[in-house]
Amino acid sequence: MTIRNWIKFFFSTLVVGGVVTGILGFIIRWDEFSNWFYDMDFSQIIPAFIWLVGVGFTFSVISQMGFFAYLTIHQFGVSFFRSSSLWNSVQLVIIALVLFDLIYFRFQKFAAAGESLVSYVLLAIGLLGYGVIVALIKSRQSKSNTFVSALFFMIVVTVLEWLPVLTTNEKSWLYLMLFTLLACNTYQLLMLPKYNQRQG
């Protein structure tokens, strides 16, 4: 990829993060912002939207750091294990461990007395389901077998990027950051080949 295309890729991903957070921020945190919309108080709405977009830019940068870190780790994994099938098996094991940790440790740390495990399981299942869909699209887009690698990125790397709010468990931020990371990670995973193919 040329420097020019990398810059375009960086800023387009930045826009994805900003727009997604700017829009979803009002939806997810509607209880906080609804009165401004009912009153058509644009003196409050516009600054809040700009602030949310700025937060989205931050999430996007975290996503891009994770993406390029994964590209490095993936190349290292393929070289170290000397077999794509063995590397895929290792990635599947790590995916399973991360999903288990996402359920078990969050439940142990944040569950209230008598709270059901169901919501924690559903969150992990939702992340897995979305990851599978994106990985299937990626594998159809690519001539090589990229399903497991794409799934690893969408689940393991997303969870690692998500840690700053996972450790606080504030629900509005939990979902806002997750949806933004998923949007940015999906965009990067599916659009990188197109930017690589561009001339100049």
Query: What local confidence, expressed as pLDDT, does residue 12 receive?
Result: 95
Greatest mean pLDDT range, 113-122, 135-144, 150-159: 150-159
Lowest-confidence region among 11-15, 31-35, 85-89, 109-113: 31-35
Q: Say if residue 115's pLDDT is above 90.
A: no
Q: What is the Cβ-side half-sphere exposure of residue 3, based on CA atoms within 13 angstroms?
A: 0
Mean pLDDT of 84-100: 92
Assess contact for 18 and 57: CB atoms under 8 A.
Answer: yes
Helices (H) and strands (E) in the chain, counts: 8, 0
Tokens coding 195: 């930017």
Assess contact for 1 and 10: CB atoms under 8 A.
Answer: no
Tell me what percent of the residues of the chain surpass a pLDDT of 90.
55
Three-class SS state of 55: helix
Q: Measure the CA–CA gap between 90 and 79, rounded to whole angstroms.
A: 13
Among 6, 33, 5, 1, residue whose Cα is nearest residue 176: 33
Mean pLDDT of 129-148: 90
Query: What local confidence, expressed as pLDDT, does residue 200 receive?
Result: 55
Q: Say if residue 33's pLDDT is above 80.
A: no
pTM for the whole thing?
0.91
Q: How far is CA 185 from CA 16, 17, 38, 63, 196, in A?
A: 10, 10, 34, 6, 17
Q: Per-domain residue ranges for the chain? A: 3-197
Q: Which of the four pLDDT bands, split at 50, 70 and 90, describes residue 141?
A: confident
Three-class SS state of 65: helix
Mean pLDDT of 94-108: 93
Q: Which of the four pLDDT bands, split at 50, 70 and 90, describes residue 1?
A: low
Helix (H) or strand (E) holding 7: helix 3-28
Q: Measure the CA–CA gap between 28 and 170, rounded to whole angstroms.
A: 12
Average pLDDT, the chain: 89
Lowest-confidence region among 148-152, 156-160, 162-166: 162-166
Mean pLDDT of 119-139: 95
Query: What local confidence, expressed as pLDDT, does residue 74 receive?
Result: 87
Q: How far is CA 103 from CA 5, 124, 170, 179, in A?
A: 39, 7, 16, 18
Query: What local confidence, expressed as pLDDT, does residue 199 receive?
Result: 57
